[in-house]
Amino acid sequence: ASNFTEVPLAPPDAILNLSTLYKADTFVRKVDLGVGAYRDNNGKPWVLPVVRKAETIVFEAQPEHEYLPIGGNKSFTEAASKLLLGSDSRALQDNRVVSFQTISGTGANFLGATFLHRFYPKGTKVLLSNPTWANHKNIFTSAGFEIQDYCYYNPKTLGLDLDGMLTSLRNAPSRSIVVLHACAHNPTGVDPTPEQWKEIANVMQEKNHFPFFDCAYQGFASGDLDRDAFAIRYFVERGFELSIAQSFAKNLGLYGERVGCYHVVAHSAQLAQHVQSQVARASRAIISNPPLYGARIADTVLNSPELLAEWKEHLIAMSGRIMAMRSELRDQLVQLGTPGNWDHIVNQIGMFSFTGLNSNQVEVMKNKHHIYMTSNGRISMAGLSTGNVEYVAQAIDDVVR
Ligand code: PLP
């Protein structure tokens, strides 16, 4: 008899399933608004020119292929921590920041979850925004945590439900771990304002909650690396100990190279050393040593003033194209007289927009118009282009009437 007779078939991954359906569709004007990766105005992946330059530099240096230390490429992880915390960060000067290279943002979330689970009291809750990136649930439960939702998105205003969020945080058990999207919230595109972050920090401090920032879109939201790091820097200034899962998938376009870091800011250099030793144990069990190639590219870009300046231009180009598509889509809908208010499309930020379309409307978008998006009405703004935005607006107009 097989050992696997008790293994049930897992449900298909909603997003991967969507891209299979899209690929199989032979309709010429089909549109993929499911994909969570940047596309240029021709719908093609964009290899950042600065990454190409860094690849040449790395290649010509003919580096060897020895193991990295457990913590990874130090000059990369240090530059990555400065990018998040600011190069003048007190926490960095005080040597109380621990930084580990990880398998992109996913690995950073999982390493953090694994480490924290070993040292938080049994029964600690991890609070996730409702809704959130689907993998958060998977990652934090896999690490052994119980999870609980906090209010975040208000479907009526298509914006932040701040009161609901503060109430959820107040009602949660003290010393819960709260996963916060640093910027460009996935899937809603709704971020708190600086004022709202202050109120969130107040309640988090009252309740001794632990902030776990997930930062997968720094520079990709506003086009400005510092501006997108506001929330993290603000919480560090307020004196929180916290974690950050950092991804370079989107902002450097290094998706498949899996470049990321897990950082912990502790209250003292001594505590940071203890944390460092324990994160190392956890990382040893998961990957032993992180991969070389992507980190070498990121290291080269982050530590060269010229390449860094060029990268910042690329971030403005990518976020700018996305913002232009937001305006274009909103304007087209207004011109068509599509019922409803569409300002949320321009008010939301980052890769995604929550359109407000319901799952029935999403089905019609797919079956009648060959436009693919997740059933919650989320669209990837990067899938829009000057060539298809009018077609998409007409389809939205059709399904909401
Ligand atoms: N966190 C959020 C909120 C994301 O949207 C993503 C990617 O879609 C990730 C983390 C991690 O992505 P990766 O593992 O590719 O860095």
Instruction: Please say if the pLDDT value at position 11 is more than 90.
Output: no
Q: Which of 18, 38, 109, 135 to mutate to test the pocket of ligand 1 (most atoms within 8 A of CB)?
A: 135
pLDDT digits (tens, 9 = 90+) for 277-334: 999 999 999 999 999 999 999 999 999 999 999 999 999 999 999 999 999 999 999 9
Angle between helices 230-237 and 74-85 (to 10 degrees): 80
Strand order, beta sheet including 259-265: 97-103, 259-265, 242-247, 210-215, 177-181, 125-130, 146-151
How large a percentage of the chain has pLDDT more than 70?
100
Residue 342 annotated to the active site: no
Confidence class for position 15, pLDDT limits 50, 70, 90:
confident
Q: 123 — alpha (psi -120 to 50), left (phi > 0) or beta? A: left
Contact status, residue 211 vs residue 180, Cβ threshold 8 Å: yes
pLDDT at 164: 98
The pLDDT confidence band at residue 12, using thresholds 50, 70 and 90, is confident
Can 343 be counted among the known catalytic residues?
no
Q: Whose CA is nearest to atom 10 of ligand 1?
A: 105
Evaluate: CB of 102 within 6 angstroms of ligand 1: no
What letter represents residue 342's amino acid?
W
What average pLDDT score do residues 209-238 get?
Answer: 98
Mean pLDDT of 244-263: 98
pLDDT in tens, 158-169: 999 999 999 999
| Residues paired with residue 265 on neighbouring β-strands, in sequence order | 97, 242
CB atoms within 10 A of CB 318: 23
Please state, rounded to an integer, the average pLDDT across all residues of the chain: 97
Average of pLDDT values for 342-364? 95
| Predicted local confidence at residue 16, as pLDDT | 80
Q: How much distance in Å is there from the Cα of 301 to the middle of ligand 1?
A: 21
Which of these, 140, 51, 80, lies nearest to 290 by C-alpha position? 80
Q: How many CB atoms lie within 10 A of CB 52?
A: 10
Q: Is 211 helix (H, G, I), strand (E, B) or coil?
A: strand
**Predicted confidence (pLDDT) per residue in 72-89, tens digit:** 999 999 999 999 999 999
Percent of the chain residues past pLDDT 90, beyond the cut: 97
Cα 2 from chain centroid?
Answer: 40
Inform me whether the pLDDT recorded for 35 exceeds 90. no
Give 98's contacts (C-beta < 8 A, 6+ positions apart).
Answer: 263, 264, 266, 272, 275, 276, 279
What pLDDT digit, counting tens, does each position of 175-195 carry?
A: 999 999 999 999 999 999 999
Judge whether 133 counts as a catalytic residue: yes
pLDDT score for 17:
85
CA of 210 to the centre of ligand 1 (A): 20
| Active-site position among 133, 197, 311, 342 | 133
Which residue type, as a one-letter code, is found at position 91? A
Q: Tell me, what's the pLDDT at 4? A: 96
248-263 in b/e form (b: 16+ CB < 10 A) is bbbbbbbbebbbbbbb
Q: Enter the DSSP assignment of 350.
A: S
* CA 343 to chain CA mean position, Å: 23
